[in-house]
Amino acid sequence: MSLTLAGSSEATEPPEASAPEAAASRPHRDGAIDLIRFGCLVVVVILHSLMASAVLGTDGDVVPTVALSGTVGFTIASWFYQIMPLFFFIGGYAAISSWRRTQATGGTWADYIRARLRRLVIPVAVLIGVAGIGLSIASELGVPTGLLAEASTRIGQPLWFLAVYVGLTSLVPLAVDFHERAPRRSIAVLAGAVIAVDTVVALTGLTGLGYLNFLFVWPLIQQLGFFYADAIHKPVRVGLAWTTMVLALASLGVLVGLGVYSPDMLVNLNPPTGALVPLGVAQMSILRLSHARLNEIVAGGRTGRERAREYRARIWQRIISWGNTYGIQVYLWHMPIVITLIGILGFGANLVAGASFGDGVPLAGILLPEIESAWWWLTRLSWLLTVMVLAGALAMAMSKIPFPGEARLSRFGQWVARVAGEIIGHRDSHAAGETRTRARARQLRERLSSPVSRAVIAVALAMGGIAIALLIGIAPLIWTLVSVAALVTSLVLAATMKAQTPVGSSPAGSEVTVADRARALVSLG
pLDDT at residue 499 in the model? 43
Which of the four pLDDT bands, split at 50, 70 and 90, describes residue 183?
very high
Q: How confident is the model at residue 212 (pLDDT cuts 50, 70, 90)?
A: very high
Kindly report, residue by residue over 132-179, the tens digit of the pLDDT: 999 899 888 888 787 788 888 888 888 998 999 999 988 999 999 999
Residue 19 has pLDDT above 60, yes or no: no
Percent of the chain residues topping a pLDDT of 90: 46
The reported pTM is 0.81
Q: Which residue, 439, 418, 438, is CA-closest to 428?
A: 438
Q: With 90 as the cut, is the pLDDT of residue 82 above it?
A: yes
pLDDT at 86 over 80: yes
Own/partner pairs, 198-201, CB within 8 angstroms, 24+ separation? 198/260, 198/273, 198/274
Q: What is the pLDDT of residue 380?
A: 92
- Most confident range (mean pLDDT) of 215-219, 373-377, 469-473, 515-519 is 215-219
CB 39 within 8 A of CB 116: no
DSSP label at 11?
G
Top-confidence residue, 442 or 300:
300
Confidence of residue 441 (pLDDT cuts 50, 70, 90): low
pLDDT over 70, % of the chain:
82
Answer yes or no: is pLDDT of 57 > 80.
Answer: no
pLDDT above 60 (res 2): no
Q: Tell me the mean pLDDT in the region 54-80.
A: 82
Instruction: Using alpha carbons, select from 142, 251, 273 the residue that is nearest to residue 201.
Output: 273
Mean pLDDT of the chain: 82
User: Does residue 290 carry a pLDDT above 90?
Assistant: yes
How much is the pLDDT for 428?
52
Q: Of 154, 79, 46, whose CA–CA distance to 381 is shortest?
A: 46
Cα dihedral 146, 147, 153, 157, rounded to 10, equals: 150
Residue 446 has pLDDT above 80, yes or no: no
What band does 502 get if pLDDT is binned at 50, 70 and 90?
very low
User: Residue 223: is its pLDDT beyond 90?
Assistant: yes
242 pLDDT more than 60:
yes
Which residue blocks in 468-513 are alpha helix, DSSP H?
A: 477-496
pLDDT for 287: 94
Instruction: pLDDT band for 518, please (50, 70, 90 cuts).
Output: very low
Q: Is the confidence at residue 468, as pLDDT, over 50? A: yes
Map residue 359 onto helix, strand or coil: coil
pLDDT at 449: 62
Annotated domain spans of the chain: 8-403+450-522
Beta bridge partner(s), residue 52: 66
Distance CA 130, CA 399 (A): 12
**Average pLDDT, integer, range 382-396:** 94
CA gap 114, 498 in Å, rounded: 9
Query: With bands split at pLDDT 50, 70 and 90, how would you rate the model's confidence at 261?
Result: very high
**How sure is the predictor about 425, in pLDDT bands with cuts at 50, 70 and 90?**
low
Q: How confident is the model at residue 18, as a pLDDT?
A: 42
Question: Is the pLDDT assigned to residue 71 strictly greater than 90?
Answer: no
pLDDT average, residue stretch 310-319: 91
Does residue 34 have a pLDDT over 80?
Answer: yes
Instruction: Give the residue with greater pLDDT, 11 vs 78.
Output: 78
